[in-house]
Structure 1
Amino acid sequence: MTSPAFGPSLHDTGVDFRLWAPLKEEVLLQIEDRQPLPMQRGDDGWHRLRVEGVGAGTRYRFHIGDLAVPDPGSRFQPEDVHGPSEVIDTRFNWKTVDWQGRPWEETVIYELHLGTFTPEGTYRGAMGRLDHLASLGVTAIQLMPLSDFRGPWNWGYDGVLPYAPDSSYGRPEELAELIDAAHARGIQVFIDVVYNHLGPDGNYLPVYAPIFTEKHKSTWGEGINYDGEGSQAVREWAIGNALYWITDFRADGLRFDAVHAIEDDSKEHLLTEMARRLRAAAPDRHVHLIVENEENNPALLEREADGQPSLYTAQWNDDIHHVLHVASTGEDFGYYADFAEGLPQIGRALAEGFVYQGEVMPYRGSERGGASAHLPPTAFISFIQNHDQVGNRAWGDRIFEVASPQATAALAAVYLLAPQIPMIFMGEEWQASTPFPFFCQFDDELNEKVRQGRRKELARLPGFDEESAKSTPDPVADTTFYSAKLNWEERNLPEQAAALALYQTLIGLRHTEIVPRLKGIGGRAAQFSVEGGLLRVEWWLGDGSLLSLFANLSAEDVMVKERPQGDPLWSNEGVTEGRMGAWAVQWTLTPVASV
């Protein structure tokens, strides 16, 4: 078990408790219902106390004046964010002790929200669906944030205690069991982490420590203090948390939320130090670090001479989502208008990564991104759905509600076989009908603020106004949360079963024919062209073979003069002699010996 600066540390006969509270001279420790004990304050602002005769399972809290607060390094909050913390022994009895992870090129990600993935909404419930994911060909699950949040359910981005996996999903020991069970099936586990802001309810840190700074601002208010007075401890709080998931819970990687909102003027930016220390912590395991970055900064994705990531392994590529979404749905409102050029933008996203590589994006009114063609395709994660792109729609409706089955099947055939790393959003594989609206639940006052904020946000969308926005799901209603739970029974219906079979076929083909050829693939590995309404993309894979995509991503038939050369890999029924029907997709693969 690691012994980070934040949180309690177990030893043979007791527990070391500590709280970083530089703004306070006196802190008391209360264990269970005992009389509070004074802690010893050091010059570094840490208050410490070793207590003998206690151990795992002990509940405690800190008293600062009249205020009782949980530990910001709490490992578990059995009574939610305002209750006592519990000492956890993370020396779990691992069964997959020899697990070293999987190479990045083998990764097929499945993003899921624990509370809505299964009827139970727990770690144990998710364990019961691992065999389904393994049979689908998934090699990594990405868990939406676990950080303890106020209330019985939440997307997870309102967390305030990042070391404490939320109690609504089960106990920490059960999270370890889920990870162990996933590893036993060859499935990696990535955890979504949030270091750009803290939630609105249950964050007591500002009372006793300089967690925020007026120097930086974000969408959520004052920025987190990663570069001012006291920032070293704040940095350790964040980096220590990331290390905790990788070491104590043996997670295979992390997805870093909205890194563009992490501002830091230090000599070594937090993101650089984070990546450096995480990779050093598990040198004998495959550890993959994923970013979400609205700025599309390619510097975070650079490679060393041997092709290994210098900092981060890959980025969620919103650009490829946007161009495929617009092509299949015809929606061109808001930022979608900047991705409505059709095949040229789709080709650029598939061949080079970012669509915007320093050009002005009209919706933003400023330049976006940087050159990305020199990066390998595996530096980008492709998807046609994720929690944001579904949940931030007015009704949380999935792409299947606004695009034809023929179109969505074609999109799946494109992104699941392309060299970029694919990511499936839970239920997508069977075209789940259940929505995924935004949901949370706080106290009455904060709930009303969330309602009003959501309505104002929706009212800015084309086709909405203040009145129509009121008809959308109430984000704090019980019914909104429960509507998002997957209906596992519907995957057996004829249309859903056919969609599931298609995903299994495509992912199986990816593992047998594409993945073995991805190792060593470099930058500038692809080229694209648009010819008479048809898209052609070619990739030179790591073993020297040539992978080709030929597609008609529209609802109109297109006549064909010349097809791509190569051995047939996969095509749908729209591909016929002399014609590419609506949403026709054809893949060919020419082995290295034939190139």
Structure 2
Amino acid sequence: MPLRTLETWPHGAIMLDAEHTRFALWAPDAFDVSVELEDEQSLPLLPQANGWFVLNTRCPAGTRYRYNIDGELQVPDPASRAQAGDIGSHSVVVDPLAYQWQHNDWPGRPWTEAVIYELHVGVLGGFAAVEQHLARLAELGITAIELMPLAQFPGERNWGYDGVLPYAPQSSYGTPEQLKHLIDTAHGHGLAVILDVVYNHFGPDGNYLHRYAKGFFREDKHTPWGAAIDFRQREVREFFIDNALMWLLEYRFDGLRLDAVHAIEDPNFLQELALRVRQETEPARHVWLTVENEHNEATLLEQGFDAQWNDDGHNALHVLLTGETDAYYAEYAERPTEQLARCLNQGFVFQGHFTLDGTPRGEPSGHLPPSAFILFLQNHDQIGNRALGERLHQLTPPDALKAATALLLLSPMIPLLFMGDEFAAEQPFQFFTSHHGELAGLVREGRRNEFAGFSAFADPHKREQIPDPNDLQTFEASRPLLTGNAHSAMHDFYRQLLQIRRREIVPRLPGTETQGTEVLGFGAISAHWRMGDGSELRIDLNLSGTPVVHHPQAGATLLFAQPPQPELLTQGVLAPYCVLVSLTPATPLHPVNGERL
């Protein structure tokens, strides 16, 4: 596997050989920079053009170091490959070749095979502990695990979106070698591994770039987290592109999910990142690039990115399943069935349509294949951004949830599960951090005030019951119990559906096109797709408590029914909380003129 060269990987401490390291820091607002080694050596870095400070020196792997800025401030390396502890501790020189890979020929998996399982490494106990789940997930039918962000953050507990050292795997989860071992082991089980990366901001604690590299930010543009990152600066672009390439080339991740790219102001950065990834990864490898993007930019999915998380589909389904219409669900309150139909037929719900505040959102997406959209019933956001972190099975009728799960796992869109879905885990997934002092109080109160617009928490006294993100118990309560027989029926239900997907859907996915979706009644739709082999996949779904008229497809083979009653296919009525999944073979060619019969 090729590694970047010194010329193309400028940031950080890069080993030249077994005994020597090059230190490079972009610090255009500093006068003097030195590297302070753990043996109390202080070595001045030499100023270079364009704000760089560089030094080649004798320094083996494992050496701990910090940078000293103008003799006033000691800081970690912003491109630290590992931390000896928290963000305030020493950075560590890492040998990228130290780990001995066992599955060197792993090529990845085609995107159409993706069944993604999102998980949080911390609540599962770290890199080594996650390995204990891999065999079970592969047997279930999962083909990829997606790790929530790993970039070093302040403290030991965090969702990961407050990271401040993007190159360093979180030290409380394990070492770089342990992360590589997790990925290597996953590949041995046939599992791809995706990493969620945050390129739209740095966390509020432990980021010192404003002191010596103000060029990382632009004060004329702001995001919800502060000044926007200035991707107009070549050094800034390279910092993040090199980070993406490090995860893909050195750690051999199979893909990246870019968080909230709508908060990235530069319109060309994402296209350049995708182009560089495609250029610098081996052509035979399957490398997946996906995004979260409130702007629903369909054009981005034609510029090197494979798919987008489809929040529109989730939101419409959530309103139909729970009846909740608070906050952002208000956009789906009036016509959720029609919006779900549009999602299944065209991808996005909002494709330039006006939102409640009168602004247009999104781009036309009906020309994209269904596999350009990642569908989910819940994820870390949709559970954790609830005040109490309840899971969907605690909010909706069991039969309705089973019907929606069949839609998720058997539609041509790419399905994503969140850890614990397959067991209907009772444990919540709450928002947790480990901030201290004034910041801890601000985060706690900010979290509670987020729910002032929800009817259940309009009373300030009710908001006091929302768990404190900094309380250790909030984190401990979010550990899912993923073993045992308490929910084996749900586990078997997922296994059954994923076996059908692997056998009947995945081989037909390449070349699939939507064929239209019909609204049958409130909460009820009939969706059709022309699969790559010419067959027709049909999903008839009723998420309401009222039966609706249903016209069965002649000659169709029933792949799945919930409730499991095959006679439902021919009764002409779609029962409450029901789903029928059927497949009609391709019409054979006429033996003489080649026309369809």
TM-score normalised by length of structure 1: 0.94
Query: How far apart are the structure 2 equivalents of 1:564 and 1:24?
Result: 74
SS in 2 for 1:217: strand
1:393 counterpart (382, 386, 391): 386
Query: How far apart are the structure 1 equivalents of 2:533 and 2:285?
Result: 24
Alignment of 1:85-164 (within 5 A): 85-91=91-97, 92-116=99-123, 118=124, 121-164=125-168
Contact 1:548 1:564 in 2 (8 A): no
Match of 1:191 in 2: 195
Match of 1:204 in 2: 208
Deviation, 1:593, is 4.7
2:132 corresponds to which letter in structure 1?
G
Contact 2:520 2:550 in 1 (8 A): no
Alignment of 1:41-440 (within 5 A): 41-52=47-58, 54-64=59-69, 65-91=71-97, 92-116=99-123, 118=124, 121-209=125-213, 210-227=215-232, 231-264=233-266, 269-282=268-281, 283-302=283-302, 310-340=303-333, 341-362=335-356, 364-440=357-433
1:549 maps onto 2:549 in alignment: no
Contact 2:326 2:453 in 1 (8 A): no
SS in 2 for 1:124: helix
1:19 corresponds to which letter in structure 2?
L
Contact 1:574 1:581 in 2 (8 A): no
SS in 1 for 2:218: strand
1:585–1:201 distance in 2 versus 1, CA, 3 Å: same
1:505 maps onto 2:510 in alignment: no
Query: How far apart are the structure 2 equivalents of 1:559 and 1:194?
Result: 47
Query: How far apart are the structure 2 equivalents of 1:264 and 1:336?
Result: 29
Match of 2:591 in 1: none
Query: How far apart are the structure 2 equivalents of 1:459 and 1:475?
Result: 17
Query: How far apart are the structure 2 equivalents of 1:236 and 1:562?
Result: 56
Contact 1:574 1:583 in 2 (8 A): no
Query: How far apart are the structure 1 equivalents of 2:266 and 2:491?
Result: 44
Contact 1:146 1:166 in 2 (8 A): yes
2:422 corresponds to which letter in structure 1?
E
Match of 1:306 in 2: none
1:544 corresponds to which letter in structure 2?
G
1:102–1:561 distance in 2 versus 1, CA, 3 Å: closer
Match of 2:592 in 1: none
Contact 1:574 1:584 in 2 (8 A): no
Query: How far apart are the structure 2 equivalents of 1:329 and 1:564?
Result: 34
Query: How far apart are the structure 1 equivalents of 2:206 and 2:154?
Result: 7
Q: Deviations over 1:520-564 (max 9, x none)?
A: 235xx3311123554111100111111011121212233545456
Query: How far apart are the structure 2 equivalents of 1:560 and 1:275?
Result: 44
Q: Deviations over 1:147-198 (max 9, x none)?
A: 0000011000000000000001000000000000011111101100001010
Query: How far apart are the structure 2 equivalents of 1:29 and 1:581?
Result: 70
Deviation, 1:43, is 1.8
Query: How far apart are the structure 1 equivalents of 2:326 and 2:555?
Result: 38
Match of 2:579 in 1: 585
Query: How far apart are the structure 2 equivalents of 1:141 and 1:56?
Result: 30
Is 191-200 or 458-467 further displaced after alignment? 458-467
SS in 2 for 1:44: helix
Is 16-25 or 237-246 further displaced after alignment? 16-25
Deviation, 1:342, is 3.3
1:30 maps onto 2:36 in alignment: yes
SS in 2 for 1:355: coil
Query: How far apart are the structure 2 equivalents of 1:312 and 1:394?
Result: 33
Deviation, 1:325, is 0.8
Q: Deviations over 1:39-94 (max 9, x none)?
A: 11112211111112x21110011111221111111000122111110011121211
Query: How far apart are the structure 2 equivalents of 1:2 and 1:248?
Result: 9
Deviation, 1:22, is 1.2
2:465 corresponds to which letter in structure 1?
S
Contact 2:525 2:541 in 1 (8 A): yes
SS in 2 for 1:168: coil
Query: How far apart are the structure 1 equivalents of 2:150 and 2:4?
Result: 19
Contact 1:334 1:462 in 2 (8 A): no
Q: Deviations over 1:338-370 (max 9, x none)?
A: 2131322211111111111111111x4311111
Query: How far apart are the structure 2 equivalents of 1:572 and 1:443?
Result: 49
SS in 2 for 1:125: helix
Deviation, 1:518, is 0.6
Deviation, 1:315, is 0.1
Contact 2:64 2:84 in 1 (8 A): no
1:102 corresponds to which letter in structure 2?
R
When the two structures are aligned, how many residues end up with a matched partner? 572
Query: How far apart are the structure 2 equivalents of 1:542 and 1:416?
Result: 18
1:526 counterpart (515, 518, 525): 515
RMSD (Å), alpha carbons: 1.5
Contact 2:167 2:243 in 1 (8 A): yes
Is 585-594 or 477-486 further displaced after alignment? 585-594
Contact 1:386 1:424 in 2 (8 A): yes
SS in 1 for 2:289: strand
Query: How far apart are the structure 1 equivalents of 2:492 and 2:552?
Result: 31
Unaligned stretches of 5+ residues in structure 1: 303-309
Deviation, 1:582, is 1.4
1:298–1:66 distance in 2 versus 1, CA, 3 Å: same
Alignment of 1:438-449 (within 5 A): 438-449=431-442
Query: How far apart are the structure 2 equivalents of 1:147 and 1:288?
Result: 19
1:190–1:482 distance in 2 versus 1, CA, 3 Å: same
Deviation, 1:2, is 2.7
Contact 1:564 1:588 in 2 (8 A): no
Contact 1:565 1:588 in 2 (8 A): no
1:488 counterpart (465, 471, 482): 482
Deviation, 1:504, is 0.4
Query: How far apart are the structure 2 equivalents of 1:421 and 1:299?
Result: 19
Unaligned stretches of 5+ residues in structure 2: 589-595
Contact 2:106 2:187 in 1 (8 A): yes
Contact 2:85 2:172 in 1 (8 A): no
1:355 corresponds to which letter in structure 2?
V
Contact 1:6 1:19 in 2 (8 A): yes
1:180 corresponds to which letter in structure 2?
D
Query: How far apart are the structure 2 equivalents of 1:471 and 1:56?
Result: 48
Match of 1:305 in 2: none
